[in-house]
Every structure is written in structure tokens, then in C-alpha cells.
Amino acid sequence: MSGRGAARTVVDGSGLRVAVVAASWHEEIMEGLLAGAQRGLRECRVDQVTSVRVPGSFELPVAAARLAAEGFDAVVTLGVVIRGGTPHFDYVCQGATAGLTQVSTSTGIPIGFGLLTCDTEEQARDRAGLPGSSEDKGFEAATAAVATAVTLRSLAATSAVPGSRRALV
């Protein structure tokens, strides 16, 4: 299972503004991902949360870009793409992943990557944080985005101190 060995990253995200953008396909799985993300944000003490829905996973990057431009400290993206019998799966997964990476690197805003790319619906359910799931990718995406935002904020504060030096490990 891909989640074995994953660190449980919960930091204090008080004062952060976080947006959650979620696709609409595969309603049951998406509800699990959303619930996990909301739980993760609560555990990180984030109380300024805006949630929006988009039609599908391919639309996640454009919504994330708009939210990043609107001053959010982090954006959590949630979606699920299940392999079918055509190359559509590959195009959507590649486009969404490349788009989200571009948004993060071009804006400097952390993007929580909660996009499930699975061969079967059962694999997606097992990662969606539903009862009986072995993983909770919504929770992981939210807490990773908050942890990165906190780290970036501390780097900005360190670089603002005259004479300070910092090393990235």
C-alpha cells in the first residue's frame, strides 16, 4: 500500500487562509476526501476555509490558480480519476498533475495534492478515508498543504531578519 510509512503531519495553521477545491465526479469517494480534508484542517487549527467545487479533475488547476491569486496561503485540491478503456485517463491525470505543479511553482502557494489516480473504484475507495479505507488522502493533502504554508511563512520571517542566514535541508 502506498500510504505505508507516511508521516502524520499536523502543525498549527492558525491564521492561515486555506481554499479547498474539489471535483464532482465519483460522489461517494469525493465526500470521503472532503471529509478527510476538513478534518485535517480542523486538526491544524485552520478556521479560515473556503470550499469550491469544479466539474472534474481536469478543472482543478485553473480553480487552484485563481484561488492562489486571491491570496490564500494554501490550496487543497481533491479529485479522482479511475482508469477506463481509453487514453482519456492518461490525459486527465497528466494534465491535472502538470497543471497543479505549475500553479504551485509559479505562485509559490502550496498545493495539497489530493488527486487519486486509480485503476479501480475499489482502489479509490480504499484511499478516500471512508469507513474501512486504509488511507485518508484528503486528510494527508490538507495537512501537507498547511505544513508547507507554515514552513514558507517561517522562511519569509527568517529572511526578513537582518543578517539572518538559513539553510534548506
Q: What amino acid positions are annotated as catalytic residues?
A: 88
Query: Are 36 and 128 contacting, i.e. CB atoms less than 8 angstroms apart?
Result: yes
Cα–Cα dist 166/106, whole Å: 22
Query: Are 100 and 115 contacting, i.e. CB atoms less than 8 angstroms apart?
Result: yes
Read off the C-alpha cell for 77: 485540491
3-state secondary structure of 148: helix
End-to-end C-alpha distance for the chain, whole angstroms: 28
Read off the C-alpha cell for 118: 486509480
Count of positions (residues) in the chain = 169
Read off the C-alpha cell for 58: 481536469
At residue 5, φ and ψ (nearest 5 deg) are 85, 0
